[in-house]
Structure 1
Amino acid sequence: MASVWVGNRGTIRDYSGFNASRDAEAIRKAIRGIGTDEKTLIDILTERANAQRQLIAREYRAASGKDLKDDLKSDLSGNLERVMVALVMPPAVFDAKQLKKSMKGTGTDERTLIEILASRNSKQMKEISQAYYTVYKKSLGDDLSSETSGDFRKALLTLADGRREESLKVDEQLAKKDAQILYNAGEKKWGTDEDKFTEILCFRSLPQLKITFDEYRNISKKSIEDSIQGELSGHFEDLLLAIVKCVTNTPAFFAERLHKSLKGAGTDEFMLNRIMVSRSEIDLLDIRAEYKKNYGCSLYSAVKSDTSGDYGSTLLRICGGDD
């Protein structure tokens, strides 16, 4: 069965000649020795696809009676620990944990909620919701409900439900109709009908939205982004703009976020790890191309100048090469 987490533009592929028990044994030695052998850990975990890492974790548990994730946690620290632990989690569980973390404690990290919910497809969202319930014994929807409000909450819940259409077929007539509805709900109306924006932007397939946005420009002589910026505000506006960016060009959306995580004072390692790990088997090659095109330097060189040590090496291995 093809995983919904694997695309054909990833930097990490299935490792040929893979042997889970041999890898598990090598990892055990690397952790058990005096001082951890980080190089072995990096070599193995960044060169195996996630499905293979799950098999390694299973073998590791069978051989040692311990959880690989826990052993990595107790043996490593800081950013290296976080990225290594991220690599050994199934993608849906990793996303579920990121969502939980963004809602824990005081204040909600809306940027993370927006990034994940705007960019994952319906099948992925269904797996994330299941993983969330399995790990936390609470529904993702309930937690989102208690942490957010208003139109932002409504749109997040719609996305979390994984009800976006997935068909690649587009319907020109529907696009014209939807574009008109959006125009009537925003630009043409005194006050905005937010529900209409949520209904169309959170339910329609990405190819369908692409032609809807073209039609919108024909009707209103403005881009849908300009209208959203003019009509809406706050996190709801941020979420819809993120959806529009993902519809237009998902790799460019992630390249922009990586750029934000790397530039300025201090690196946002949480965002950096999340995007590098979660896109490494989907479209990181395309993200690299967009990064180079939009920011004038390669993602590889940006990561290299902003990170160091074993942590930096791990990210560079995930990145997969310089452009």
Structure 2
Amino acid sequence: MACRGTIKASPNFNASGDAEVLYKAMKGLGTDEDSILQLLTDRSNAQRQEIKATYKTLYGKDLIDDLKGELGGKFETLIVALMTPPIAYDVTLLRNAIKGAGTDEKVLVEVLASRTSHQVKDIVAAYRQEYDADLEEDVCGDTSGHFQRLLVILLQANRQTGIQQGNLESDAQALFKAGEEKFGTDEQSFVTILGNRSAEHLRKVFEGYMKLSGYEMEESIQRETSGNLRDLLLAVVKCAKSVPAYFAETLYYAMKGAGTDDDTLIRAMVTRSEVDLMEVRSEFRRLFACSLHSMIKGDTGGDYRKALLLLCGGDDA
């Protein structure tokens, strides 16, 4: 499978050369932010980990601590995110979403709806190792109702694979009976089917649902449910249809209107940069009639903007 990310491993990689560039950029008076952002957005995450290890070997200092000491604000948040291994980054996001003041449901929804079963299993294991705690228990302590049930199902990471021909009709019927046909919604059917079937299977079920009800799955969810459960069901449905389109939408709404949701912007750009950001960009262009590049440019500033544009990797104007 070809990498559809915007960030790829640098071909002539030299960890000690890179470590030296970063060291010099931070040494003495003033910081050369440009060198830092140019270098780190041009290396893969695996290469950044090598640079970090080499930096400690050469200088006896922790690269992330040094970066935090020299940089500030959103730019620092972005650079530290780029320096964190992907699974460790997801683990930290989830931990902060649960353990901070109040629960950040948006992060729980985005991470658990969009990651593959394999990634979720790795996240659960890494969370236990890092915090000596059970992610499912922590999530349950902070959530309730059908929202909690669907999160727990997603955390099991036991989605079926392929299309279960025998269930296509009955799944579509069950969703129709639970939603449009019934007064008050039987959320449990939605939760069980959307949480356990494969993306390919669900796409077929949504077609069947449309034939039965005359509605897109998303329209019915919008009408029949509310709050966090609605957000999670919508995210699961959108990710089953197209993960890149889901992230294009996530990025658009992070920047649209007054004020930018920088946490979401950073999270989406960093986590998709080596996965499918090229596809996210083309979905963005298709859905919103402007390019991701131009929206970032108009919505951010300074070194933070420069780094985001380098991650974006080109304009689809």
- TM-score category, normalised to shorter length: over 0.9
The answer for unaligned runs of 5 or more in structure 2 is: none
Instruction: Identify the match of residue 15 of structure 2 among 12, 20, 32.
Output: 20
> 1:25–1:134: structure 2 CA closer, same or farther, 3 Å change rule?
farther
CA distance in 1, matches of 2:156, 2:229: 17
Partner letter of residue 76 of structure 1?
L
Q: Give the alignment of 1:30-109 within 5 angstroms.
A: 30-109=25-104
The answer for unaligned runs of 5 or more in structure 1 is: 1-5
2:270 is equivalent to residue 277 of structure 1: yes
CA distance in 2, matches of 1:7, 1:60: 31
Deviation per residue, 1:11-61 (Å, 9 max, x gap): 001110111222122212222232222112112110011111111112122
CA distance in 2, matches of 1:316, 1:226: 34
CA distance in 2, matches of 1:11, 1:119: 19
Count of residues in Structure 1 that have an aligned counterpart in Structure 2? 316
Partner letter of residue 62 of structure 1?
T
Partner letter of residue 300 of structure 1?
H
Structure 1 partner of 2:134: 139
2:194 is equivalent to residue 217 of structure 1: no
CA distance in 2, matches of 1:228, 1:196: 12
Native 8 Å contact 1:292 1:298 kept in 2:
yes
Q: Give the alignment of 1:5-16 within 5 angstroms.
A: 8-16=3-11
CA distance in 2, matches of 1:158, 1:207: 18
Instruction: Identify the match of residue 150 of structure 2 among 155, 162, 174.
Output: 155
Partner letter of residue 164 of structure 2?
D
Partner letter of residue 268 of structure 1?
D
Larger mean Cα displacement after TM superposition, 235-244 or 218-227: 218-227
2:170 is equivalent to residue 177 of structure 1: yes
CA distance in 2, matches of 1:84, 1:291: 24
Shift of 1:140: 1.5
CA distance in 1, matches of 2:19, 2:128: 29
Give secondary structure in 2 for the equivalent of 1:12.
Answer: coil
> 1:65–1:161: structure 2 CA closer, same or farther, 3 Å change rule?
farther
> 1:112–1:172: structure 2 CA closer, same or farther, 3 Å change rule?
same
Shift of 1:7: 6.3
Shift of 1:190: 4.2
Give secondary structure in 2 for the equivalent of 1:86.
Answer: helix
Deviation per residue, 1:192-246 (Å, 9 max, x gap): 3322211111111111111111111122232222222232222111100111111
Give secondary structure in 2 for the equivalent of 1:142.
Answer: helix
Instruction: Identify the match of residue 231 of structure 1 among 210, 224, 228.
Output: 224
Report the aligned-residue RMSD. Answer: 1.7
Give secondary structure in 2 for the equivalent of 1:211.
Answer: helix
Give secondary structure in 1 for the equivalent of 2:242.
Answer: helix
Native 8 Å contact 1:179 1:212 kept in 2:
yes
Instruction: Identify the match of residue 244 of structure 2 among 251, 263, 271.
Output: 251
CA distance in 2, matches of 1:300, 1:182: 39
CA distance in 2, matches of 1:192, 1:305: 42
Give secondary structure in 1 for the equivalent of 2:109.
Answer: helix
Partner letter of residue 11 of structure 1?
T
Shift of 1:284: 0.7
Larger mean Cα displacement after TM superposition, 76-85 or 102-111: 102-111
Identity of aligned residues (%): 47
Deviation per residue, 1:107-130 (Å, 9 max, x gap): 212112111111111111112222
CA distance in 2, matches of 1:309, 1:221: 48
Larger mean Cα displacement after TM superposition, 20-29 or 152-161: 20-29
> 1:143–1:195: structure 2 CA closer, same or farther, 3 Å change rule?
same
Deviation per residue, 1:251-279 (Å, 9 max, x gap): 12111111111121211111100000000
Structure 2 partner of 1:306: 299
Partner letter of residue 164 of structure 1?
R
Partner letter of residue 75 of structure 1?
E
Partner letter of residue 305 of structure 1?
G
Structure 2 partner of 1:201: 194
Partner letter of residue 47 of structure 1?
D
